[in-house]
Amino acid sequence: MLTWESIQTLVTEGNLAPDKRQIKTGAQWKSLLPEDVYYVTRNAGTERPFSSPMCTHFEAGIYACVCCDTLLFDSTVKFDSGTGWPSFTQPIKENAIAYYLDDSLDRSRIEITCNSCDAHLGHVFPDGPAPSKLRYCVNALSLQRKT
């Protein structure tokens, strides 16, 4: 199980190798993705809070990267954080997500991206429920639910 300490180590010492890599140019991604999905996933954008019904849907399933179909999260670790974005406590595999220091605001955060295609997903915080106490705060536009 990943912990805040292990994530901080990945940020400073490097991410785990992904199972596969999907590399495309910006123009290729732009031609494949709707404008709002491109903005979030390729430009590190953020959708408005509470803009997606995915926040309150808890059906069984797996959540994959909307860009490359890499499996990212299982619905069994999804929870209602009340923040306005889908939230999870753990990725489906430790190497599914990459972690980077994000100093774009007035405080440091840890950005999460798809480790296969570098799509921006959101951020991870150390204020989730036990046992991991992690909250992966994810843009719904970066995810697709698989049944």
pLDDT tens for each residue of 96-141: 999 999 998 888 999 999 999 999 999 999 999 999 999 999 999 9
Residue 147: is its pLDDT beyond 90? no
Looking at residue 3, what is its pLDDT? 97
The residues assigned a catalytic role are 137
Domains of the chain, residue spans? 4-146
Going by pLDDT thresholds of 50, 70 and 90, the confidence category of residue 60 is very high
Share of the chain above pLDDT 90, in %: 94
When pLDDT is averaged across residues 14-23 and rounded to a whole number, the result is 97
Does residue 17 carry a pLDDT above 90?
Answer: yes
Question: For a pLDDT cut of 70, what percent of the chain falls above it?
Answer: 100
* Nearest CA-CA partner of 71 in 46, 96, 40: 96
pLDDT at 140: 98
Pick from 144, 71, 87, 101: nearest CA to 7: 101
Looking at residue 120, its pLDDT comes to: 98
The pLDDT-based confidence of 25 (bands split at 50, 70, 90) is very high
**In angstroms, what CA-CA distances link 2 with 38, 63, 64, 77, 91?**
29, 18, 19, 13, 9
Count of helices and strands (H, E) across the chain? 3, 9
User: Which homologous superfamily does the CATH classification assign to the domain defined by 4-146?
Assistant: Peptide methionine sulfoxide reductase. (2.170.150.20)
The pLDDT of residue 29 is above 90: yes
